[in-house]
Structure 1
Amino acid sequence: MLLLMIITFLLRSSNSLVFYKQPLNVTIKAMGTVSLTCIAEYETNNKRQYDIKWKKDEEYIATNGDIRDDLVDTSHFIVTVSRSISEITFNLVFISVWNSDRGIYQCDIFESNVVVLESNKAFLDVIQIPDDKYPLCTESKDVYTEGDDVMLFCVSEYTEPPVTLRWNDGATHVVEIVDGESARLQKRLIANPELHGYKDVCSMTNVQISDLNRNCTTQPLTIYYKPRVSIPQTGLISAGKQAFFICDTTANPAVTRYTWLTLPPLDNKEYNIDNTGHILMLYNPTMKHDGTIITCTAENQIGSSSTSVTLTIKSDTQNDVTVKSTKDSVIIDYNENNKSLGNNTASNEISPGLSTDVIVIIIVACVVLLVIIVMIPVYYYCLCSRNITTNQTTTIVHQPEVYFEPRDRMTLPLPRTRDAAIWRRSFAAQAPDDKEVDAMYLEIQSNHYIYAATSRSNTMR
């Protein structure tokens, strides 16, 4: 009897309530907007009360217009319900799609807390984008000691489709999924002094999201290592000359102590160590110090390292050279640095022959002298040929640009002075065409010569 009643109820419900519109599969990019809709129709004379619920992955998230308390966020999604005399419209509106919204959605209609109608299942596929805080670059430790394993991590939120993580060296690394929620890329190094301060960059991309390109940078690595020690000075020194030896180190943390050791041991009066401890001064090395080994040891909290130098002593007779000139009795002395002492300077490395510069100068001088010797006969030959040619032709006298031509004339006497005549001397001056003069000929009469036939002396005035 009970079974019959249930069947009758379901048949009555199915005949009076149907879905006019059901949710469909949709693909949306994260942070986008999308809406899922259910529309149910029933007979106009149906007076029953229906409740409608949205379900995601088999869990109900909203009933009628109310969202589950733990999911209430109006910036995320809202639900709306509208009823008429013959239908119910139920909307699930995502204001901003989250990565976690990916799943299967369905709307169910209840009557008296019993499901009377179920919609089809719609899959909401979200192209997920990692949160803005990703990727994150981390290190396994804050401080490493030389020889430790250094682990670098690049972490991102796990998304569908998955992101691609890559270190800047371009090498292929395996991305592992941690707890199904995060993707992690790791890189393993061995701590050494060269890695102190090292940083690496991790990039995050996604082939389906072209504008997704982010990166992060690891913190500079702090590597502790024992000192690296060297003595840059050579062990070759001159007898009687003070010598300095510097213990040069690089270390992290800093060197805490320097120790000097000589073998065979030197007397304390023969050397001195400065206040810092990394400089040793040898006062007066002699031939007995030849072959002495000087060792510097530097120590910090990680360990210690040493380096040594062996002394080679040069005597004064090996270092000094005296050159005497039999002509001038000039003495030139050379010290161990190959520099001359006194007023005259020269190099103690005497060249066995002429230098290249001197040879080049001699060759150039010879060529110039040869050219002069050849040109002299040629010059005289050309000069003689010109004289012979000139003598065989008419001599050409060049007229100067300006010249003077004197001219004499006699002025007839006046009727009353027939016993005297005026003699004038004038000259003409010819100017070239480019001279700006008004006349080509000029006449000057400043001096007159008076001639009288009856006078014994003629005068000029």
Structure 2
Amino acid sequence: MLGIGTTVGTWVFFHMFMLQRTYSFSGFIKEPLDENQAEGDLTYFTCIVRELDETQYVSWLHNGRKISKNGEIIINTYAHYSIEFDSAFGSYNLRIQNVQRRDTGRYTCTVYDSNDQIVEKSRTANFTVLEIPQQQYPICSSTKTSYRVGQYVVLNCISEKTTPPALLRWVHNIGGSESGLKESSTGNYEKSYSFIAKQSDNRAIFTCELTTSANPSIERNCTIGALDVLYPPIVRIQQTRDVILGNEAIFICYSDANPQETTFEWSFDPPISENIFVLENDIILRIKNTISSLNGTSVICKVTNSIGSGSSKLIVNVKLKESINNVVETNNGKETKKSEKPNERNKNKSNNQNYNSNQQLLQTRSPNNKNNSSTDISISLVVIIALVCIVLILGLAMIPVGYMRYTRSDTINRGRPVSIPDVYFEPRDHIDPMLPQLGLPAPWMRTVGVQVPGECESDATYNTQVMPQPRQVYYTQRMYPASSL
């Protein structure tokens, strides 16, 4: 009985001990929540436990796979993961830096015992990575390199298949239809734009823009163009001036084509002699001497390229010289032309000849030559007067300069003893009289009378001998007489 009691007691003790160690963990204070985050960003999963036993530890599971133990990541492929571990507070937060697409999945915070048996799991948090198309997208493409006018054009804009799907939009300035976003045969997303090619679509540029809700700041685009639309020549003929009887007539053939024109052909209906016209670079038609039989003739220019041909026709309207000499009358600022009757042409012609002869006679007698000569004389006179004025101004400007040089060099002898008069008089300010040679006033000066002895003295400050001199000698040194005062 004692042996049985001992065995039962030992079992009960062991069982109670294991229950105490296993259930010392009392639960999660905070569990991870579902997250959505774009590629390249940062995300957190929170896990805080209460009263964890010393033999227990916390691990994070990703899709059922253990990736950490307490505060360390145990798998190298999860190097961009880290654990913000604080045992005092029981926090085991999971931090994912630079989120990648493979990080999508289920995350669970799990408590293990010393035998690596699961004690308890937190709720499972679902993590969705918002995928961003790779840098090379979008890609623009077309079914052909060139199109003829009237052909069906299909342009494709391709993006990588992502979650969420990228948004594609065609930017254009022509009429066409845009398809919805669909999955292509290569597993990507694409949006097409289609239209019927026209001549005006040649050299056009089409742009496809890509945006994504995963990161609204991302905006990319690709372009197709310039679109090569092939079309036959579009031709027009232009004459440089009215076709006048007896004068030269010039016709130019203009063409717009893609590809470039290969041939230009001129023809006439009814045909005319080859001696009448000359071609320059196959584009310009020159009729040297217009004859009356050309009136009503159709001039045709035909241009051909590799796509086809195009032509233009112009009917020649030959005008007489007399018909262009219409009478022009002005009525309230508007000009109206009166055509002449055939019976009056000869009469008007003779009158015009008489008028022209009289006009020439008047022109010979008119003072046109005198006007020209008088104009030349007036211009020469203006030039001469201007030169004389310049000389006078320069001469007057030199007078003060010469006077200043004259007075500056002769009035004061620098570096020599200054003569002082032997008499003194009342101090006063005055201006020296005009110089008789130039008629200009001398500078203002102040004279101060001082008493000096009759004998020579030596100035103590400058060691200069001061000799008394008479007033006449003083003014003689100033180059003009004292009596002028």
TM-score, L = length of structure 2: 0.51
Q: Is the 8 A contact 1:238 1:315 kept in 2?
A: yes
- For 1:177, the equivalent position in structure 2 comes to 182
Query: For residues 333-348 of structure 1, what are the structure 2 equivalents within 5 Å?
Result: none
CA distance in 2, matches of 1:124, 1:176: 26
Structure 1 residues 220 and 282: CA distance shift in structure 2, 3 A: same
CA distance in 2, matches of 1:52, 1:223: 65
Structure 2 residue runs of 5 or longer lacking an equivalent are 1-17, 326-344, 364-485
Deviation at 1:226, TM superposition (A): 1.5
Deviation at 1:230, TM superposition (A): 0.6
CA distance in 1, matches of 2:207, 2:156: 10
CA distance in 2, matches of 1:235, 1:45: 109
Deviation at 1:266, TM superposition (A): 2.0
Q: Is the 8 A contact 1:53 1:108 kept in 2?
A: yes
- For 1:55, the equivalent position in structure 2 comes to 62
1:277 equivalent to 2:286? Answer no
Q: Is the 8 A contact 1:38 1:90 kept in 2?
A: yes
Is the partner of 2:257 in helix, strand or coil? strand
1:35 equivalent to 2:37? Answer no
Structure 1 residues 343 and 177: CA distance shift in structure 2, 3 A: farther
Letter in 1 for 2:355: I
Is the partner of 1:260 in helix, strand or coil? strand
Q: Is the 8 A contact 2:159 2:189 kept in 1?
A: yes
1:148 equivalent to 2:172? Answer no
Instruction: Identify which of 167, 171, 174 aligns with 2:170.
Output: 167
CA distance in 2, matches of 1:251, 1:327: 54
Deviation at 1:196, TM superposition (A): 1.8
CA distance in 1, matches of 2:204, 2:314: 33
Q: Between Structure 1 and Structure 2, how many residues are aligned?
A: 317
Q: Percent identity?
A: 25
1:191 equivalent to 2:197? Answer yes
- For 1:97, the equivalent position in structure 2 comes to 99
Instruction: Identify which of 202, 216, 226 aligns with 1:220.
Output: 226
Letter in 2 for 1:96: N
Letter in 1 for 2:206: D
CA distance in 1, matches of 2:279, 2:112: 96
TM-score, L = length of structure 1: 0.53
- For 1:330, the equivalent position in structure 2 comes to 354
Structure 1 residues 169 and 299: CA distance shift in structure 2, 3 A: closer
- For 2:318, the equivalent position in structure 1 comes to 313
RMSD (Å) for aligned C-alpha atoms? 4.8
Letter in 2 for 1:124: F
1:385-405 Cα offsets, whole Å, 9 max, x none, are: xxxxxxxxxxxxxxxxxxxxx
Structure 1 residues 38 and 240: CA distance shift in structure 2, 3 A: same
Structure 1 residues 130 and 326: CA distance shift in structure 2, 3 A: closer
1:65-92 Cα offsets, whole Å, 9 max, x none, are: 45476xx6x4xx33669899xxx99775
Is the partner of 1:284 in helix, strand or coil? coil
Query: For residues 350-369 of structure 1, what are the structure 2 equivalents within 5 Å?
Result: none
Greater share of residues in helix: 2
Letter in 2 for 1:93: R
Q: Which structure has the larger Rg over C-alpha atoms?
A: 1
CA distance in 2, matches of 1:239, 1:117: 113
CA distance in 2, matches of 1:152, 1:233: 43
More divergent stretch after superposition (115-124 vs 221-230): 115-124
Deviation at 1:255, TM superposition (A): 0.9
Deviation at 1:185, TM superposition (A): 2.9
CA distance in 2, matches of 1:311, 1:68: 90
Letter in 1 for 2:97: I
- For 1:266, the equivalent position in structure 2 comes to 272
Deviation at 1:315, TM superposition (A): 3.8
1:54-73 Cα offsets, whole Å, 9 max, x none, are: 434x7x5958745476xx6x
Instruction: Identify which of 236, 239, 243 aligns with 2:245.
Output: 239
Greater share of residues in strand: 1
Q: Is the 8 A contact 2:250 2:286 kept in 1?
A: yes
Structure 1 residue runs of 5 or longer lacking an equivalent are 1-10, 334-340, 346-461
Deviation at 1:201, TM superposition (A): 3.5
Instruction: Identify which of 97, 112, 124 aligns with 1:121.
Output: 124
CA distance in 1, matches of 2:119, 2:311: 88
1:253-294 Cα offsets, whole Å, 9 max, x none, are: 2111111122222222121212x2111222323222222222
- For 1:351, the equivalent position in structure 2 comes to none
